[in-house]
């Protein structure tokens, strides 16, 4: 079985530096995503250290779970050596490809997904407080998406000398697709949006680029890293073309001179020619116009209408006669926005769907409330009468 891949890492719009690290090693069949955390530059050091140690251990002959454990030891040791790096940690999700098998080692809340026959499922379990509550039935996935403690993870590399590594085995079929990503993607896009994007883009690099762009359009609150692996059937060399047999040239008998065609017949021939050439052109133009209309009516953007933040359906300025329409106006005004957001909305901030546009508006609202000093922070949240305590500081890390 052969594999194709696409990858991209991006700082996003909400962080000054990229603390994600990525490993793409097709020659050795090893791929990984690490999302670092810690003080100034410590997260970047943690994720890079984990990636380097993972690769060294794997190439040294260790299986992927042991290589992840070696990465934990390396991060822990580096933090112990430098006071400025104390408390740093990182997630790590690694995939080792062997023949038609994918072996995964996983710690933290970065994720791996499998797409098979168009259906997308999450392979790994998040080591986070809110996901644990979801598994226990104490939170819904929708509540977890907006929970104030969703950044708290319960397991990471570098926090303790030893770490429990989750391992998974996936027996691959031709046509399968694996996605590994940091939470900068999954916190911005829903599973449904991610799945739809994976289905729409057969080229893995195009799919990776599109996912990162969409996460940035939805707010880009965190660093975003994506690796996509496509399982392909073994393809041997194309068969050599057969030599064409020599063609014997046989003189054709002379044809009798043609009778001149009546004028009426010539007009009919011209009409048939116009129809044969014109109809396909009309059909192509119609299809293209319909496609433009389909795109224009399924695209959304957020802009300003008389200083009011407004969600539009369509493309800014219209497209080939398809003019945007107002989906709804918000209570936000231009004065409620930062200077950067006002400039961003002058030309319209585009989105692939209404859900992502609404998330962007929610982020603007939350940002306004925070600047106005109206938000509050809690350390304990109650759901259905049950208090949700913070986990012990020895096992939880906030990013």
Per-residue model confidence (pLDDT) at position 45: 97
- Domain match, 168 and 306 both: no
User: Does residue 253 lie in a domain region?
Assistant: no
Q: Which of 48, 5, 1 is nearest to 30 (CA)?
A: 5
Residues 30, 54: Cα–Cα separation, whole Å: 9
DSSP bridge pairs for 32:
23, 94
H helix count then E strand count, the chain: 10, 19
- Domain match, 213 and 294 both: no
The number of residues in the chain equals 399
Question: What mean pLDDT is reported for the chain?
Answer: 80
Q: Which of 7, 44, 45, 47 is nearest to 25 (CA)?
A: 7
Residues 281, 195: Cα–Cα separation, whole Å: 35
Per-residue model confidence (pLDDT) at position 378: 32
Q: What is the pLDDT of residues 6-36, one digit of tens each?
A: 999 999 999 999 999 999 999 999 999 999 9
- Domain match, 148 and 284 both: no
> Does this model's pTM top 0.85?
no
- DSSP H/E element including 281: helix 263-297
Q: What is the pLDDT of residues 375-389, one digit of tens each?
A: 433 333 333 333 434
Q: Which of 271, 246, 187 is nearest to 221 (CA)?
A: 187
Contact 395, 152 (CB under 8 A): no
- pLDDT band for position 222 (50/70/90)? very high
Per-residue model confidence (pLDDT) at position 353: 76
Q: What is the pLDDT of residues 260-270, one digit of tens each?
A: 445 444 445 54
- Domain match, 40 and 168 both: yes
| Least confidently predicted of 177-181, 227-231, 393-397 | 393-397
Q: Is the dihedral of CA 177, 180, 183, 184 positive or negative?
A: negative
Which percentage of the chain shows pLDDT scores above 70?
74
Q: Give the count of beta carbons closer than 10 Å to the beta carbon of residue 387.
A: 8
DSSP letter for each residue of 79-126: HHH-GGGTT-EE-EEEEEEETTEEEEEEESS-EEEEEETTEEEE-SPP
DSSP reduced 3-state for 308:
strand
User: Which one of 210, 232, 254 terminates a domain?
Assistant: 232
User: Does residue 132 lie in a domain region?
Assistant: yes
pLDDT greater than 70 at residue 296: no
- Domain match, 220 and 306 both: no
Q: What is the pLDDT of residues 73-126, one digit of tens each?
A: 999 999 999 999 999 999 999 999 999 999 999 999 999 999 999 999 999 999
Count: domains in the chain: 2
- Domain match, 36 and 165 both: yes
Residues 267, 324: Cα–Cα separation, whole Å: 46
Domain carrying residue 303: 277-399
């Amino acid at each position: 079985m052969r594999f194709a891949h696409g990858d991209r890492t991006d700082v996003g719009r909400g962080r000054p530096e990229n603390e994600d690290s990525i490993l793409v090693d097709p020659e050795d069949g090893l791929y990984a995503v690490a999302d670092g955390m810690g003080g100034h530059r410590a997260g970047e050091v943690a994720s890079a250290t984990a990636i380097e140690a993972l690769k060294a251990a794997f190439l040294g002959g260790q299986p992927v779970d042991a290589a992840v454990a070696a990465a934990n030891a390396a991060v822990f040791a580096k933090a112990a050596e430098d006071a400025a790096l104390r408390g740093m940690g990182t997630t790590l999700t690694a995939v080792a490809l062997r023949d038609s098998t994918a072996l995964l080692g996983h710690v933290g809340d970065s994720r791996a997904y499998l797409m098979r026959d168009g259906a997308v499922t999450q392979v790994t379990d998040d080591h986070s407080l809110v996901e644990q509550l979801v598994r226990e039935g104490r939170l819904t996935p929708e509540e977890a998406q907006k929970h104030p403690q969703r950044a708290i993870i319960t397991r990471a590399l570098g926090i303790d000398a030893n770490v429990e590594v989750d391992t998974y085995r996936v027996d691959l079929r031709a046509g399968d697709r694996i996605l590994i990503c940091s939470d900068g993607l999954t916190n911005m896009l829903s599973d449904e949006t991610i799945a739809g994007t994976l289905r729409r883009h057969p080229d893995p690099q195009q799919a990776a680029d599109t996912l990162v762009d969409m996460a940035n359009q939805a707010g880009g609150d965190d660093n975003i890293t994506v690796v996509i692996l496509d399982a392909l059937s073994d393809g041997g060399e194309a068969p050599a073309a057969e030599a064409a047999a020599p063609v014997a040239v046989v003189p054709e008998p002379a044809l009798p001179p043609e009778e001149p065609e009546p004028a009426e017949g010539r007009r009919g021939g011209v009409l048939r020619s116009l129809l044969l050439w014109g109809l396909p052109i009309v059909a192509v133009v119609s299809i293209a116009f319909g496609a433009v209309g389909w795109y224009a009516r399924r695209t959304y953007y957020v802009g300003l209408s008389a200083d009011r933040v407004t969600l539009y359906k369509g493309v800014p300025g219209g497209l080939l006669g398809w003019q945007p329409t107002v989906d709804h106006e918000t209570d936000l005004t231009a004065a409620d926005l930062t200077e950067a957001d006002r400039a961003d909305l002058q030309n319209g901030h585009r989105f692939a769907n209404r859900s992502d546009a609404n998330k962007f508006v929610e982020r603007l609202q939350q940002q306004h409330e925070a600047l106005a000093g109206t938000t509050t922070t809690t350390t304990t949240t109650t759901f259905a009468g049950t208090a949700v305590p913070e986990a012990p500081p020895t096992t939880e890390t906030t990013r």
